[in-house]
């Protein structure tokens, strides 16, 4: 006979005890989350802006209206669940974040519909007349870019022409009426996957076509410029008369926000040395203008005893500084970084006028929200991302306990104070470089490595020497006393350019990355935002997605083959070096292929390699990848090739690329890319690893309104 122990009186059955255990754990986790959010309550409002931006980013990342609708439904459902089913601060936080994401997605979708303008669907040659709205002088390209409002039937209302500098007639200025015969084409799409998408920006600007004149440009009525355009043009001409070409380009960029006057070599040196941010009017420049205006006005007003006794001079000076900041923002074209910086400066000045401390992270969030409400498409641009990433990294660094302990000003001797200031500059520059590196690698496939050290010299030089001397020179030219300040400004600008070229030419100055998966970039951005916005140890959790995204980016394979959307240009990437199909390839395509391949140098010719056989009309090459050999056939001219010979070559090839329509009998073993196929795919990056795949521009653009691909 077997005896069994009797159950304890009052003890619940095992499944019931398990449910009670997990219920207790659930409530304990909820209480822990509430305590955590309570400790971080001051950091919660900026997350609403993050949610708003996430909805905008989701619209750009998703390529189908059904996916956008699903995004709206999911956001609405999460928001409803947060407000109705959630409890406490955690439920409300989820609700506001999801609601903001839904509104962001809906806003950018609606804006993409509202800004729609007629655009060309195919290239055309036509005679038309129009009114010049803006003129940009592209020194690096030796051309002038003109935005035209056309009134010719059958053409889009907004067109852009690029005119060679030696063919620009007198009188080309905003307000001029011109007649011209030109070849016009639709705004070009992204040339290769991951490169700049001009068609997207043109859509939101309402630009319907671009082109070049085929003959002389006739000025029917000369333009004199209007308002701020006239002021900017006058400033540009005045500065160019006072300074040499190199320094003048940077001085014009600082005064008017127009970077087109910077020469190609100087612009490349600024990029490679990590100093290109100095050319974009943003926080540094706005801060210098506002601080200078407030300091000067405060000192001048204080000279009057009557004003000092009767007025709140701090309030008056804050108003003067605000006016200076707004004026400078409008003068420089109200670009995204400038608007963000101006909004932040106005809020800080408001806080000073009211005698209250400013909350810097909230200022950044407010500036971002203002920009995104009016221009949600700005989120997809490198300018917006890099501007806000830099200033957020600075604020996050200086909000840490370690930074406050090491960098906070205190009563000490000059040597210690100078050393502490130098440490602050180095730490700030390092934080900015780390924050900008993923963005630069994703958008431009390269990032400067020595920018921290270059900025230690460049930022103080720009803030305390170049900008004040340029402002003083412009002001004193009215009475003829500006020449000494122009000499100081020229000397400082030459020093800045010398520094940029020296750093850019240093071995290993640039880190290169051929491609970065979109999801890896998203992990890096999400981890960076998480790391910057929280104050407690919760912020350290952001290191996990940063590490995962960085590892995925580092391990991402390089493309083996790059093909432009017209099929004319092709590059075989051999051990990181792009080999071009055509020997006579322009500088733009050469730089494009080098950028997409992550190559720091000038591409070489495919025909120079022993594993290729090229004639005037076609090339056959062997492409090796992951131990596998692929046979490539690509045409190089429009010359007719005998049908039987060509179809036999097609059958013997794995990949065939041509800029013409190929016969049906051309059947390669794997991939046929002729004019018909490329109209559906756009530019391509082909990976020939163990699992061959094709990344296309059409796949990245999806069915967004600016897509131009056949379906």
269 closest CA partner among 488, 506, 492: 506
* pLDDT at position 571: 94
pTM: predicted TM-score of the whole model, two decimal places? 0.85
Q: Which residue has the higher pLDDT, 359 or 492?
A: 492
Q: 375-400 pLDDT, tens per residue? A: 999 999 888 888 888 888 888 888 88
The DSSP string of 229-247 is HHHHHHHHHHHHHHS-HHH
Asked whether 72 and 711 are in contact (CB, 8 A), the reply is no
The DSSP bridge partners found for residue 183 are: 125, 212
CA–CA dist 650, 666 (Å, integer): 5
| Residue 379, token pair as written in the block | 């989120």
Q: Which residue has the higher pLDDT, 199 or 166?
A: 199
Position 356 pLDDT exceeds 90? no
pLDDT value of position 227: 67
Ranked by mean pLDDT, which of 176-190, 220-234, 455-469 comes out on top? 176-190
**364 touches 345 (CB < 8 A):** no
Binned at pLDDT 50, 70 and 90, residue 537 comes out as confident
- Return the minimum-mean-pLDDT range out of 27-41, 415-429, 613-627: 27-41
Please state whether beta strands 612-614 and 570-574 pair in parallel, antiparallel, or not at all (unpaired).
unpaired
Q: What is the pLDDT of residue 19?
A: 65
* Residue 340 or 119, more confident: 119
- pLDDT tens, residue by residue, 270-321: 888 888 777 776 666 777 788 888 888 888 888 888 888 888 888 888 888 8
Tens of pLDDT, residue by residue over 84-109, are: 877 778 888 889 999 999 999 999 99
The pLDDT value given to residue 410 = 75
Instruction: Write down the H helix ranges in 579-642.
Output: 587-597
The string of pLDDT tens digits covering residues 541-597 is 999 999 999 999 999 888 999 999 999 999 999 988 999 999 888 888 999 999 899
Percent share of the chain, pLDDT over 90 = 40
**Across 5-24, average pLDDT:** 56
Pairing state between β 655-657 and 628-635: parallel
Residue 706 CA to residue 444 CA, distance in Å, equals 22
Nearest 5°: the CA angle 219, 225, 228 is 155
DSSP-derived letter for residue 581 is: S
**124-225 fold:** OB fold (Dihydrolipoamide Acetyltransferase, E2P) (2.40.50)
List pLDDT tens digits, range 33-52.
778 878 788 888 999 999 99
Contact of 148 with 219, CB cutoff 8 Å: no
Residue 4: pLDDT band by 50, 70, 90 thresholds?
very low
Tens of pLDDT, residue by residue over 523-536, are: 999 999 999 998 88
Q: Are 635 and 657 in contact (CB under 8 A)?
A: yes
First-residue to last-residue Cα distance in the chain: 80
Q: What is the pLDDT of residue 16?
A: 61
**CA 4, 8, 14: angle at the middle one, nearest 5?**
90
Helix (H) or strand (E) holding 133: strand 124-138
Q: What angle do CA 282, 284, 289 make, to 5 degrees?
A: 95
Cβ partners under 8 Å of residue 308, min gap 6: 301, 302
- Token pair 């200078």 is found at 292
Q: Given this model, what pLDDT does residue 30 score?
A: 66
Whether the per-residue pLDDT at 633 is higher than 90: the answer is yes
- Residue 269 reports pLDDT greater than 90: no
> CA–CA distance from 255 to each of 189, 356, 482 (Å)?
32, 32, 16
**DSSP per residue over 189-201, as a string?**
--SSTTS--HHHH
């Amino acid at each position: 006979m077997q005896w069994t122990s009797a159950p304890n009186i009052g003890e619940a059955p095992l499944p019931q005890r398990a449910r009670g255990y997990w219920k207790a754990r659930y409530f304990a986790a909820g209480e822990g989350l509430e305590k955590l959010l309570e400790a971080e309550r001051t950091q919660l409002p900026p997350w609403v802006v993050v949610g708003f931006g996430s909805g905008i980013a989701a619209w750009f990342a998703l390529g189908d209206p059904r996916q956008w609708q699903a995004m709206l439904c999911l956001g609405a459902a999460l928001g409803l669940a947060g407000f109705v089913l959630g409890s406490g601060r955690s439920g409300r936080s989820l609700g506001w974040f999801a609601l903001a994401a839904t509104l962001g997605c809906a806003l950018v979708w609606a804006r993409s519909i509202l800004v729609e303008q007629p655009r060309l669907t195919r290239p055309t040659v036509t005679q038309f007349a129009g009114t010049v709205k803006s003129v940009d002088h592209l020194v690096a390209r030796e051309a002038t870019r003109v935005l035209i409002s056309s009134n010719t039937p059958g053409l889009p209302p907004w067109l852009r022409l690029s005119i060679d500098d030696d063919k620009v007639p007198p009188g080309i200025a905003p307000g001029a009426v011109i007649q011209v015969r030109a070849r016009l084409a639709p705004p070009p799409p992204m040339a290769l996957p991951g490169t700049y998408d001009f068609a997207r920006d043109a859509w939101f600007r309402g630009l319907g076509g671009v082109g070049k004149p085929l003959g002389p440009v006739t000025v029917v009525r000369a333009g004199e410029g209007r308002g701020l355009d006239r002021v900017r043009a006058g400033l540009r001409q005045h500065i160019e008369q006072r300074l040499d070409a190199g320094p003048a380009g940077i001085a014009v960029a600082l005064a008017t926000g127009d970077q087109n006057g910077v020469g190609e070599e100087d612009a490349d040196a600024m990029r490679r040395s990590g100093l290109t941010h100095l050319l974009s009017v943003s926080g540094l420049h706005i801060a210098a203008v506002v601080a200078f205006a407030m300091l000067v006005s405060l000192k001048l007003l204080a000279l009057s005893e009557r004003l000092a006794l009767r007025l709140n001079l701090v309030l008056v000076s804050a108003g003067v500084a605000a006016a200076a900041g707004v004026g400078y923002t409008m003068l420089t074209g109200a670009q995204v970084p400038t608007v963000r910086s101006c909004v932040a400066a106005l809020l800080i000045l408001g806080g000073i006028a009211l005698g209250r401390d400013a909350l810097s992270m909230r200022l950044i969030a407010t500036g971002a929200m203002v920009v995104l409400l009016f221009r949600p498409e700005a989120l997809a641009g490198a300018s917006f991302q890099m501007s806000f990433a830099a200033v957020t990294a600075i604020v996050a660094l200086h909000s840490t306990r370690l930074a406050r302990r090491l960098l906070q000003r205190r009563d000490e001797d000059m040597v210690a104070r100078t050393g502490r200031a130098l440490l602050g500059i180095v730490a700030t520059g390092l934080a900015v470089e780390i924050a900008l590196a993923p963005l630069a690698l994703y958008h431009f496939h390269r990032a400067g490595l020595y920018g921290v050290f270059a900025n230690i010299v460049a930022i103080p030089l720009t803030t305390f020497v170049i900008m004040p001397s340029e402002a003083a020179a412009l002001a004193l030219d009215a009475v003829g006393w500006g020449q000494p300040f122009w000499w100081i400004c020229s000397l400082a600008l030459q020093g800045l350019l010398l520094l940029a070229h020296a750093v850019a030419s240093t071995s290993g100055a640039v880190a290169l990355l051929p491609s970065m998966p979109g999801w890896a970039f998203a992990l890096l951005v999400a981890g960076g935002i998480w790391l910057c916005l929280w104050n407690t140890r919760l912020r350290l959790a952001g290191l996990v997605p940063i590490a995962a995204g960085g590892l995925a980016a580092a391990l991402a394979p390089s493309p083996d083959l790059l093909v432009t959307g017209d099929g004319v240009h092709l590059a075989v990437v051999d051990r990181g070096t792009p080999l071009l199909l055509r020997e006579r390839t322009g500088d733009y395509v050469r730089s494009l292929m080098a950028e997409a391949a992550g190559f720091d140098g000038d591409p070489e010719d495919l025909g120079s390699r022993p594993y290729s056989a090229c004639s005037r009309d076609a090339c056959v090459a062997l492409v090796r990848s992951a131990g596998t050999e692929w046979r490539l056939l690509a045409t190089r001219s429009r010359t007719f090739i005998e049908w039987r010979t060509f179809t036999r070559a097609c059958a013997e090839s794995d990949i065939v690329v041509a800029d013409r329509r190929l016969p049906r009998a051309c059947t390669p073993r794997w991939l046929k890319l002729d004019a018909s196929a490329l109209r559906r795919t756009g530019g391509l990056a082909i990976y020939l690893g163990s699992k061959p795949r094709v990344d296309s521009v059409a796949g990245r653009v999806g069915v967004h309104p600016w897509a131009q691909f056949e379906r």
